[in-house]
């Protein structure tokens, strides 16, 4: 018996929407990363981008557990001496909720060309409005 390997030409990408309102950040990100990779499909092949397109709405209403709002830090560096910028999760959720979810999902995807290709199929919006109604996305429930 031969092992099934999906070809890039045979992939089919569906559209799914996740409502992050009152959901935990890690659970939303884990579900999105798994769907972007295609691990929910029986035809999953690790070296092929066989995942689906994911839309995440209400990013500004995502929840964090414990003391993460005050203690969790997000770091950026400009590349110049003294260019380290630190932000707490509270600042990120107030000013940059989209970037917060994008970072969480990107960290759960593979590093390299394939991971970057998968990441391009993620669309995050702070509010409940999005511009992908024409794709008729199916709703996903976070467990």
Q: Contacts for 128-133 with beta carbons within 8 Å, 24 or more apart?
A: 128/19, 128/57, 128/58, 129/57, 130/17, 130/55, 130/57, 132/15, 132/17, 132/53, 132/55
Residue-wise pLDDT for 69-107, tens only, equals 999 999 999 999 999 999 999 999 999 999 999 999 999
Place of tokens 């995502």: 62
pTM of this structure: 0.94
Confidence tier at 20 by pLDDT (50, 70, 90):
very high
Domains annotated for the chain, with CATH where assigned, are: 22-140 (3.90.1180.10)
> What is the rounded distance in angstroms from the CA atom of residue 109 to the CA atom of residue 32?
10
Q: Is 36 helix (H, G, I), strand (E, B) or coil?
A: helix
């Amino acid at each position: 018996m031969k092992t099934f390997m999906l070809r890039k030409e045979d992939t089919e990408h569906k559209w799914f929407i996740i409502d992050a309102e009152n959901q935990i950040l890690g659970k939303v990100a884990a579900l999105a990363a798994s769907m972007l990779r295609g691990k929910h499909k029986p035809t999953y092949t690790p070296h092929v981008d066989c995942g689906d397109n994911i839309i995440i709405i209400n990013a500004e209403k995502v929840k964090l557990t414990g003391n993460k709002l005050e203690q969790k830090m997000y770091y950026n560096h400009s590349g110049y001496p003294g260019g380290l910028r630190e932000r707490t999760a509270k600042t990120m959720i107030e000013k940059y909720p989209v970037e917060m979810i994008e970072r969480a999902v990107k960290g759960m995807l593979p590093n390299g060309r394939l991971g970057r290709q998968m990441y391009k199929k993620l669309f995050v919006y702070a509010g409940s409005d999005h511009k992908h109604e024409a794709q008729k996305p199916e709703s996903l429930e976070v467990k």
